[in-house]
């Protein structure tokens, strides 16, 4: 069977619910999306469950499912994903946290969870912590990520993820940092809880006297004198897509969580200048790069991720979400102009719904399209893109992992079951 290429555009958090100011339409239904409408007419459509009906997922779990994995089997926590995002190779026995540079006072009360959204100097701060050795020889790796975010990896003997975290939680300024407690009776959990508290105290001792922090305080800024830790996990046991499917995949994105998941899946990742997880990301730059990667013939499957739709949902800005959907439609116009559907399947989906009204992820299924050439795919006779237009689509009630397999099968990358 001749193999074909595929390209998938992921609009993060695109799914929504009817919104009053949009006349009872969702942002995607309300948006003018001639290219997505065309795409819908060229293939199969439907509202797809990210993991299972009614299950709310995070961006990390949503993307694992889009890439064909069972998150229940491979997801070990956000910390490892953040570490992977920066190319840190976890080893067996390591535990990884995600963390925030934050500001605390002398009695460990959290003053600001993000150290005033510190945006520069974190690499320098990290160098004073990276390589630290704790009392029983456990080595500490600290990796600066975007803005106030970091990943922290512990490498040593007898480590466990069965501990509580030091982060008192979102919107918990004024609360004290939490001393970790073991979550089971194992000596590993007790050992790790003790080590993480030792680390926390050392971080404070080092960072509070750091020159950059002293300078920040002089300028009236908040000192980045602590790292709040959460999302602890171990190295995931995840076969790469290239091993599972014999496929070469690329991921174009501007957001570290998605980059981390893509790297765990063994994809090559592309985060160029101007690609970010914000409203002003370079939409068209991502589309152009995606097309270029396909045309150079180095990749079978290219995934392009846009975060801005999710942000608009979290910010409850329906018109901005409409605007972001229309920008994604322009990307789709470019892709369709430069890609022949007879040679390359073009798909569209979301990792989860982020309804504006909820300002959070919901379990609603997500609008999804798989389009191909005239004889390449069965068509649903749907000519408009949006949740309600897909109600009779053939992909309805499937799950993200099914959509992955369907794309792989259409592209010719699946093996026959039986003889």
Q: How far apart are CA 382 and CA 63, in angstroms?
A: 26
> Min. distance of Cβ 400 from Zn ion in angstroms?
12
Binding status of residue 255 toward Zn ion by CB under 5 A: no
Render 43-84 in DSSP notation, one character per residue.
EEEEEEBSSSTT----HHHHHHHHTT--HHHH---HHHHHHH
Q: Which stretch binds Zn ion (CB under 5 A): 64-72, 79-87, 350-358, 372-380?
A: 350-358
> Min. distance of Cβ 332 from Zn ion in angstroms?
19
Q: Name residues contacting Zn ion, limited to 278-317 (CB under 5 A).
A: 310
> Min. distance of Cβ 136 from Zn ion in angstroms?
38
* Angle ∠(136,201,146) on CA atoms, nearest 5: 100
Q: Of 59 and 192, which CB lies nearer to Zn ion in the complex structure?
A: 59
With both helix axes pointing from N to C terminus, report the angle between 59-66 and 256-264 in degrees, rounded to the nearest 10.
Answer: 40
Closest CB to Zn ion: residue number:
59
Q: Of 95 and 311, which CB lies nearer to Zn ion in the complex structure?
A: 311
Q: Which stretch binds Zn ion (CB under 5 A): 11-19, 99-107, 222-230, 285-293?
A: 11-19
> Min. distance of Cβ 311 from Zn ion in angstroms?
10
Q: Of 14 and 247, which CB lies nearer to Zn ion in the complex structure?
A: 14
Q: Of 13 and 168, which CB lies nearer to Zn ion in the complex structure?
A: 13
* Angle ∠(357,326,68) on CA atoms, nearest 5: 75
Render 169-208 in DSSP notation, one character per residue.
-TT-TTSBPPPP-BSSS-HHHHHHHHHHHHHHHHHHHHHH
CA 292 to each of CA 7, 161, 330, 344: distance values in angstroms, whole numbers, following the listed order: 11, 42, 17, 13
Q: Name residues contacting Zn ion, limited to 38-67 (CB under 5 A).
A: 59
Q: Which two tokens stand for residue 300?
A: 């079978």
- Cβ neighbours of 383 (radius 10 Å): 12
Q: How far apart are CA 278 and CA 361, in angstroms?
A: 17
Binding status of residue 353 toward Zn ion by CB under 5 A: no
Q: Of 252 and 344, which CB lies nearer to Zn ion in the complex structure?
A: 252
Unique residue bearing structure tokens 């992992």: 401
Q: How far apart are CA 27 and CA 17, in angstroms?
A: 8
Q: Of 311 and 346, which CB lies nearer to Zn ion in the complex structure?
A: 311
Q: Name residues contacting Zn ion, limited to 140-199 (CB under 5 A).
A: none
> Min. distance of Cβ 361 from Zn ion in angstroms?
7
Q: Of 351 and 380, which CB lies nearer to Zn ion in the complex structure?
A: 351
> Min. distance of Cβ 349 from Zn ion in angstroms?
11
Cβ atoms of 406 and 301 closer than 8 Å = no
Binding status of residue 12 toward Zn ion by CB under 5 A: yes
Task: Work out whether strand 301-306 and strand 268-270 pair parallel, antiparallel, or are unpaired.
Answer: unpaired
> Min. distance of Cβ 397 from Zn ion in angstroms?
21
> Min. distance of Cβ 382 from Zn ion in angstroms?
25
Q: Of 294 and 400, which CB lies nearer to Zn ion in the complex structure?
A: 400
Residue of the chain from 29, 326, 329, 351 that contacts Zn ion (CB under 5 A): 351
Residues that bind Zn ion (CB under 5 A): 12-13, 59, 310, 351
């Amino acid at each position: 069977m001749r193999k074909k290429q595929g390209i998938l555009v992921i609009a993060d958090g695109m799914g929504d619910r009817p919104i009053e100011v949009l006349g009872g339409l969702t942002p995607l239904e309300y948006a003018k999306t001639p290219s997505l409408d065309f795409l819908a007419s060229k293939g199969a459509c439907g509202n797809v469950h990210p993991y299972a009906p009614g299950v709310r997922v995070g961006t990390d779990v949503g993307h694992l499912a889009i890439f064909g994995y069972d998150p229940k089997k491979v997801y070990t926590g956000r910390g490892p994903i953040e570490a992977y995002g920066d190319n840190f190779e976890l080893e067996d026995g390591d535990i990884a946290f995600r963390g925030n540079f934050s500001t605390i006072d002398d009695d460990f009360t959290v003053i600001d969870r993000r150290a005033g959204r510190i945006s520069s100097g974190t690499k320098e701060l990290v160098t004073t912590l990276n390589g630290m050795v704790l009392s029983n020889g456990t080595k500490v790796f600290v990796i600066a990520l975007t803005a106030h975010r970091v990943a922290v990896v512990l490498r040593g003997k007898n480590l466990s993820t069965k501990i509580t975290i030091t982060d008192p939680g979102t919107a918990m300024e004024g609360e004290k940092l939490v001393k970790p407690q073991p979550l089971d009776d194992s000596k590993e959990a007790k050992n790790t809880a003790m080590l993480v508290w030792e680390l926390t105290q050392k971080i404070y001792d080092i960072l509070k006297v750091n020159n950059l922090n002293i300078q920040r305080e002089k300028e009236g800024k908040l000192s980045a004198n602590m790292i709040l830790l959460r999302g602890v996990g171990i190295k995931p046991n995840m076969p790469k897509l290239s091993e599972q499917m014999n496929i070469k995949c690329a991921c174009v994105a501007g957001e570290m969580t998605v980059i981390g998941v893509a790297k765990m899946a063994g994809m090559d990742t592309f985060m160029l200048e101007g690609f970010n997880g914000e409203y002003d990301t370079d939409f068209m730059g991502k589309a152009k790069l995606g097309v270029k990667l396909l045309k150079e013939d180095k990749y079978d499957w290219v995934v392009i991720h846009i975060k801005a739709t999710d942000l608009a949902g979290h910010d409850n800005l329906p018109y901005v979400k409409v605007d972001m959907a229309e920008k994604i439609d322009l990307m789709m116009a470019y892709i369709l102009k430069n890609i022949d559907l007879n040679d390359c399947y073009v798909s569209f989906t979301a990792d989860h719904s982020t309804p504006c009204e909820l300002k959070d992820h919901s379990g609603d299924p997500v609008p999804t399209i798989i389009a191909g050439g005239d004889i390449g795919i069965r068509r649903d006779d749907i000519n408009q893109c949006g949740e309600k237009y897909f109600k009779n689509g053939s992909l309805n009630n499937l799950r993200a992992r099914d959509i992955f397999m369907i794309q792989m099968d259409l592209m010719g990358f699946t093996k026959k079951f039986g003889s």
